[in-house]
C-alpha cells in the first residue's frame, strides 16, 4: 500500500487552506490577505476606487479558483 493511498492529501484542510497554502504556512511565511497585501503596497493604487476594484477582482478570482 502506498503512502498516498493511506494518507490522502485533502483539497482543503479544516481551516480552508489548500495543501500549497499549508506548506507555505509551515515555513513560517504567513500568506497575506488581499487587504494586507494592498495595505503593504499603497502606492500601487492611485485611488481608493482602484483598490476597491482590485479587491473585488481578487476576491472573485479566489472564490472562482479555490471555492
Residues 29, 16: Cα–Cα separation, whole Å:
17
pTM: 0.36
Which residue matches cell numbers 494592498? 38
Q: What are the CA-CA distances from residue 3 to residues 6, 13, 18, 39, 41 (Å)?
A: 5, 18, 19, 42, 42
Confidence of residue 1 (pLDDT cuts 50, 70, 90): very low
Residue ranges per domain, the chain? 32-67
pLDDT in tens, 7-65: 555 566 666 777 777 776 677 666 677 777 767 765 666 788 888 888 898 898 888 88
Amino acid at each position: 500500500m502506498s503512502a498516498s493511498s493511506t494518507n490522502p492529501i485533502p483539497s482543503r484542510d479544516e481551516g480552508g487552506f489548500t495543501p500549497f497554502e499549508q506548506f507555505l504556512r509551515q515555513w513560517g511565511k504567513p500568506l497575506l490577505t488581499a487587504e494586507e497585501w494592498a495595505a503593504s503596497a499603497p502606492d500601487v493604487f492611485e485611488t481608493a476606487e482602484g483598490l476597491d476594484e482590485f479587491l473585488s477582482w481578487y476576491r472573485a478570482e479566489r472564490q472562482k479558483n479555490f471555492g
